[in-house]
Structure 1
């Protein structure tokens, strides 16, 4: 990283400075089911959207430890804003594998916003000069503010095996379906998008398998270490910090209410005096420490492999997902412990912990974040079996 670029400490400080602003907008985010424009502008001004943008276009090309720590700080302010920012980092990384002249069209600003998915829920057919795509993608976080979307489709060509492809398309060419009515992460605006006979030129799609392995068509980014890793460890490290930050937010929210709360129907005038409070706090804090260990070990592995420019073993790939699942599980356990000890008054919407609990529950149910899915994958490897997923 060159001397004129902000380092990790500076970027984490900027994210920490955003916490009060994000908390101010958290109720609006839930009510309107999207991130407020002013919150997006504040994130952009802090450079949050540049963390995975190539240096060529004014980005920072940050290491993954920075992603974890920045996301954790943002989540202390608002889970929806943090999740949206972390999701943007992943398709931004994916777009950096496309031919350089395609990137010129996508990264018209260092803060260009790209949404996306890894689900191949659309079909593509060959056409002169490209492909035609039809289909629908759900859970498209940040679509309402994005200029581009990374879509996944299965290309069916005559006398060829079906091949998943990833394509970059302007979001203006997609139909947006306002179907984001959820219990958690309500402010992420994770709507569905639809393609109807959408033509994608040859230059704007790549085999998904190549991008999953960190093998793209960009000459400018070929020597950049952060773009040589497999996609799944990169995606895991990009988003795991949100879970850690939500757990820290829950701990902050719980402690702040101690002096103002007694334990109803007991002699405790302050919850702070009760031994059960001490036990819950210690247990939750320990689980947060465990979540932080797994999140940082995941990031350290991705960054070490990048520095070594070494091939990933299957064990390292699977352990990356296992670390992500373990971090999410420990973080959710910590939040649940604190929420259960927060009393009946915590169900009011102006008490943050109820929102934090719903957000981390929603996050932990994500197909790639789910603790059980990732633990099973790791257990298969430890049992001498191969992974039963392409997403490693």
Structure 2
């Protein structure tokens, strides 16, 4: 099955048309700690879950620049919604590295949603025909609405060295632990999941290093440029749009409130008259512009190298993570400026700025997005040292 593929501008327009609905349900998502079913259905109807799905299953095989721009539009409406959508794109891409018969099973569900993790917090014991997995994974964004989870476990056999493996598991085989009580990204439903004596057939298991290196087992997808790259640059480019959208959202929110705001206990009848405000808006906007540069550069490099099917150097991989970290830091700095300039009234729960601030803080704490970690890794490689991580 194939379908007509919308252009990037059409997909971005569809995302922007969802803004009123997403904003209407953003407070509900915060309170209930997951995206509203209404919003999930609307995003599915708009084709947002098909961006990384192969064309033969009705997907769009969108490039990463499209992911950045679509996620930025969604993030402009709500950070949690954009984050959840972005996270689905990454395990969906990873599923496309599996054998074609496995993909036939996974993508038989229309608008399939796959959540996942890269943390090997489970054990896999070899048995006839596959493995039995026991363990628990945290921070599984989008799990409440997912059909499958991509898991990582350490496989230990009697005659082999421990090896990290990645596998695809139906959500019905896992237990969901409702433990997502947080200060930021509250609406993402990033709960924990548990496997207890779960059997996984061998065809749905791959070595984690193969996925990290982009050495897929799919015959058909080997012909498609977007599925031929290492995981981390692809994941980095898939993630930054949501962060960039939060920067846009903060600026939108600040400027929307600005005409009616005074600066209390001063003679300024309008905050927009104050030179300090001019400096704050300018500085924040320049940081958002710089974040957009890094996001677009990252996506452009990923898309170009995929199209050329060229090898990635270690330095290029580290730089991809550094670009991602730069987006996170620059947007966080911009939101800090605009939040600080928004005054005491911005702490009310109905004011978007406080939620934007909390969401940006949460993203900057993510282990793979942390600006300092990514910057150190890039500098380490530039100084001629070996990376001190597999996730590059």
> What TM-score comes out, normalization by structure 2 length?
0.99
Q: Distance in 2 between matches of 1:65 and 1:52?
A: 12
> 1:343 maps to what in 2?
343
Q: Distance in 2 between matches of 1:133 and 1:222?
A: 29
| Aligned ranges 1:302-321 → 2 under 5 Å | 302-321=302-321
| Aligned ranges 1:1-392 → 2 under 5 Å | 4-392=4-392
Maintained 8 Å contact 2:168/2:204:
yes
Maintained 8 Å contact 2:3/2:59:
no
Q: Distance in 2 between matches of 1:142 and 1:76?
A: 19
Q: Distance in 2 between matches of 1:99 and 1:314?
A: 27
- Give deviations 1:179-213, integer Å, cap 9, x for gaps: 00000000000000000111101111000111111
Q: Distance in 2 between matches of 1:243 and 1:148?
A: 25
Instruction: Specify the SS of the correspondent of 1:256.
Output: helix
Q: Distance in 2 between matches of 1:20 and 1:330?
A: 27
Length, aligned pairs only: 391
Displacement after TM superposition at 1:143 (Å):
0.6
Q: Distance in 2 between matches of 1:6 and 1:164?
A: 38
Displacement after TM superposition at 1:385 (Å):
0.9
List 4+ stretches of structure 1 deviating above 6 A: none
Displacement after TM superposition at 1:109 (Å):
3.2
Q: Which ranges of structure 2 fall in alignment gaps of 5 or more residues?
A: none
Q: Distance in 2 between matches of 1:371 and 1:76?
A: 21
Q: Distance in 1 between matches of 2:167 and 2:391?
A: 18
Maintained 8 Å contact 2:364/2:370:
yes
Displacement after TM superposition at 1:19 (Å):
1.2
Q: Distance in 2 between matches of 1:196 and 1:99?
A: 25
Instruction: Specify the SS of the correspondent of 1:258.
Output: helix
Displacement after TM superposition at 1:4 (Å):
3.1
- Give deviations 1:9-46, integer Å, cap 9, x for gaps: 11111111111111111100000000000000110111
Displacement after TM superposition at 1:3 (Å):
9.8
- Give deviations 1:117-140, integer Å, cap 9, x for gaps: 011110111101100100000000
Maintained 8 Å contact 2:97/2:227:
yes
Displacement after TM superposition at 1:158 (Å):
1.6
> What TM-score comes out, normalization by structure 1 length?
0.99
TM-align CA RMSD: 1.0
Displacement after TM superposition at 1:383 (Å):
1.4
